[in-house]
Every structure is written in structure tokens, then in C-alpha cells.
Structure 1
Amino acid sequence: MTRLEPVPYEKWDAEALKPLTGGRQVPPSNALGLLVRHPRLAKAFLTFNTHLLMRSSLPPKTRELVILRVAWRRRCRYEWAQHVLIGRQEGVSEKDLAGIRAGDPTLLNRAVDELDTVSALSDATYAELAEELDEHQLMDLVFTVGAYGALAMAFNTFEVELDPGIDDGGFGVGAD
């Protein structure tokens, strides 16, 4: 049972969602229904999050692997389920998902784990990332981990339920 019921779709504040939607209609979502409970916060956060999700300099598959590792580490079922769907569209494979769940020692898993654990990257991890990513991509990676960590915290705290028709993307499979 959710702690804060999402605002019903027909009562959404379109202005609060404008940074994400650009004024176009979007389908119902428990996450957006939660955010529009606080329109000023929704507008501010969605401006930032829209950059990370739609305008990030990270390759889309990389972005999704990072978000999925955050969701897994934070045990955020809602974030995991949504980004398994998005990730699959961006080329994330079942093998990738299994590696995220298992904590395989990939560079991206290591980066997310370090950022989530100590809020910094080790010199070795930073150097490896800097060989593959430019400075904008490095910044987008760090801010993606932070933003999706905050979202996971909110989704978990307010017990946001999966949207109708969405399965949990294998959330209950495997463990770190």
C-alpha cells in the first residue's frame, strides 16, 4: 500500500509536468502522480531529470545500465521495472541485467557502487572512466547516479506501486 496516493491522472497539473512533457499528453504513471502532489518540486526536479533522461551526453545504453545499478542497489522495485523496459529499448540484454543483479565487476557497476557507497570515485575508477568518457559524460554519469538515487529514495519511502500492466522486470531474481 502506498503512503502517498498518486494524484489521479485527470487532476494532474500540466504546468508542473511541462519540463518533461513539453505540453504533450503522457500516459498515467504512479511516479508522475506522486510528483504532481508537489507541483513546484515536480517542475524543478523534472527540469533536471529530463536532461538526464533525454538530453544526457551518455550513450543511452550506458545511462540505463547506470540507472539500473542504482535501482538494484537501492532495492527500488518501481525504478527497476521502469528502466528494465527503457533499457531493453536501448539494447540492455538479459545478460547485462544478470550482471547488474550479481554486481559483476564491470566499470559501470564499480562506478555506481563507489558513488553510492562513498559519494566519490576512486582514482583508479575515475581514470578508467576518463579514458572512455569526456568531461560532460563524466558529469552526466555522476549526476545520473545522484538523481536516480534520490528518486529511488522517494519511491521507496512513499511506497510507489508499479504501474498497471508493468511487471517487476525480474526484480526478485538474484541478489548482490
Structure 2
Amino acid sequence: MRLTPLPEERWDDDVDAALAGMLPRRRRNPQGAGNALATLVRHPDLVRAFMPFNVHLLFRSTLSDRIREITILRVAELNASPYEVEHHTGMALAAGLTLEEIDDARRGTAADPLEQHILDAVGELHRDHGIGDETWAALGVDLDERQLMDLVFTVGAYSTLSMAFNTFGIEPDRELQPEYER
């Protein structure tokens, strides 16, 4: 780890306030926050700026939970982010995906045409930093403009998080994950 979670003795009102929009009070501590947030709060101003955006993507996005998790899993795989793969495998299971669907999403394949277009878009954004006309048109059959915008910003935000977590050396939070058989 290049950056470790903030030591407990350094958790203060500023750190608590930075996490208030994301976590309930009982989880605003080094153990409850998990490795990622406990590390990010080394910079409370950054957390206060970024977390409302991340909360939107996780809890208020116009994308369904299933589409959001398929998107994030593919981003995590393309960015070789063990933290995001592990964390969002648990969230994908909670959203109703099977382990086979999770593995498929990570590989960039899906049986459902819309989900395949989503995965294609993630690949194009990763490779080309934009969605091509053909994929955009295919997505537009099923998604409205707000959903398309949320898709692009989800890919961008989770690419950023993957880069940060990989660079900082943040390890997965297995104790905070739902149980699942692998």
C-alpha cells in the first residue's frame, strides 16, 4: 500500500463531515468506512467534492442497478482494479446478477442485446475516450439522454476510482462484502 487508511487517532470532525453524505454515522470510522473511504479521507476536501457525484452514480443514477453494476464491472476489469472487481461483484450479486453474468460482464460479453451495447460502449470509452456513432445509436433505442449521460459519467468516475485505488494500493474489503461462493 502506498497510502494506508487514515489512522484512527487522526479521525476528526473534518473527516466525519467529509463522509456524512455517503455513510451513516455508525460507519464513519476506520473499520466501518472500509479501506477505500478510510484512505480517501486523508484528503477530506477531495472526498467532500467527489462523494456527492459518486453517491449520484450509485444511488440516484437513471441507470438500473443491473446496468450500473455491469458497467462498473467491465470498467474494473479493463482497468485491472482488484478493489473495484471485488467490491462490485458483491454489489452485482445484490442487484440480481449471477456469477456467470458477472464473469461475462467482466469479459465484455452479454446475452442481452442492450447489455452487450453497454459493454461495447464501455470498451469504446476505455479505448477511444468516446462512444462511436453505431454504438450510440444502438444505445439510444433503449436509453434516454439522461441514461446515456449517466452511463458515460459512470465509466469516467469508475475509471478514475480504479486508477486511484490501483495507484494507492487499496486492498479489497472482504469483511464488508456479502458472502458469495467463487
TM-score by length of 2: 0.85
Amino acid corresponding to residue 161 of structure 2 in structure 1: L
Contact 2:36 2:165 in 1 (8 A): yes
Contact 2:5 2:35 in 1 (8 A): yes
CA shift for structure 1 position 19: 2.1
Contact 1:72 1:80 in 2 (8 A): yes
Contact 2:35 2:171 in 1 (8 A): yes
Q: Where does the alignment leave 5 or more consecutive residues of structure 1 unmatched?
A: none
Residue deviations 1:129-164, cap 9 Å, x none?
A: 111111111000000000000000000000101225
Could you tell me which of 167, 170, 182 is aligned with 1:160? 170
Equivalent-residue separation in structure 1 for 2:160 and 2:85 (angstroms): 14
Residue deviations 1:110-142, cap 9 Å, x none?
A: 010001111111111000111111111100000
> Aligned in 2, Cα 1:97/1:9: closer, same or farther, shift over 3 Å?
farther
Contact 1:4 1:158 in 2 (8 A): yes
Equivalent-residue separation in structure 2 for 1:113 and 1:82 (angstroms): 20
Equivalent-residue separation in structure 2 for 1:16 and 1:129 (angstroms): 36
Aligned to 1:120: 130
Could you tell me which of 7, 15, 18 is aligned with 1:16? 18
Amino acid corresponding to residue 111 of structure 1 in structure 2: A
> Aligned in 2, Cα 1:164/1:83: closer, same or farther, shift over 3 Å?
closer
Contact 2:34 2:176 in 1 (8 A): no
Equivalent-residue separation in structure 2 for 1:80 and 1:142 (angstroms): 19
CA shift for structure 1 position 99: 1.1
Contact 1:57 1:140 in 2 (8 A): yes
Do structure 1's residue 87 and structure 2's residue 92 form an aligned pair? yes
Equivalent-residue separation in structure 2 for 1:134 and 1:25 (angstroms): 37
TM-score by length of 1: 0.88
Q: Counterparts in 2 of 1:1-176, with a 5 A limit?
A: 2-9=1-8, 11=11, 13-21=15-23, 24-26=25-27, 27-104=32-109, 106-165=116-175
Contact 2:92 2:102 in 1 (8 A): no
Equivalent-residue separation in structure 2 for 1:99 and 1:146 (angstroms): 21
CA shift for structure 1 position 108: 1.6
CA RMSD of aligned residues (A): 2.0
Q: How many residues align?
A: 168
Contact 2:81 2:162 in 1 (8 A): yes
Equivalent-residue separation in structure 2 for 1:145 and 1:71 (angstroms): 9
Contact 1:70 1:148 in 2 (8 A): yes
